[in-house]
Structure 1
Amino acid sequence: MTKQRNNPVASPPPTVGEGCLARYDPEALDDTDGTDFPGAAELWQQLNPPDAASAPATDVPAGTQTPAPQPADKSST
């Protein structure tokens, strides 16, 4: 005999359009469908602390640009 489980079900709001033009119907959305997340920036910083590789360079004069690497199949000579 199988156990009956409390299976919560979620369903997306209605959509308009088809294929790559499909989007949620703005008329059908309400406050419960929103994506407001005021703590998102703080959570991002907590989960992704800055490291030395992503810190801005402090020993390079302003306006200096790093040249792009040459493609592997090209030569500068």
Structure 2
Amino acid sequence: MAGSRDKAGASAPPTLGEGCLARFDPEALRDEDGTEFPGAAALWQALNPPEAASARAAHTQAGERPLPIAADREQ
């Protein structure tokens, strides 16, 4: 039986590549690793509506720099 002071631990799945090319090995990923996110596309669309991405450019002439918007200043 495990002692009451034993700490739980987690480990990352195996990776492929090194440095900036490192990525999780898709063959080694399991459901327990949390790789499924069925609502990802809906969340992305909710957080990044397509009309917001082009709103600044729609009112700007070619070669003209758009004015900053509130979202730019919040960062």
Question: Structure 1-normalised TM-score?
Answer: 0.43
> Which protein has the bigger helix share?
2
Larger Cα Rg: Structure 1 or Structure 2?
1
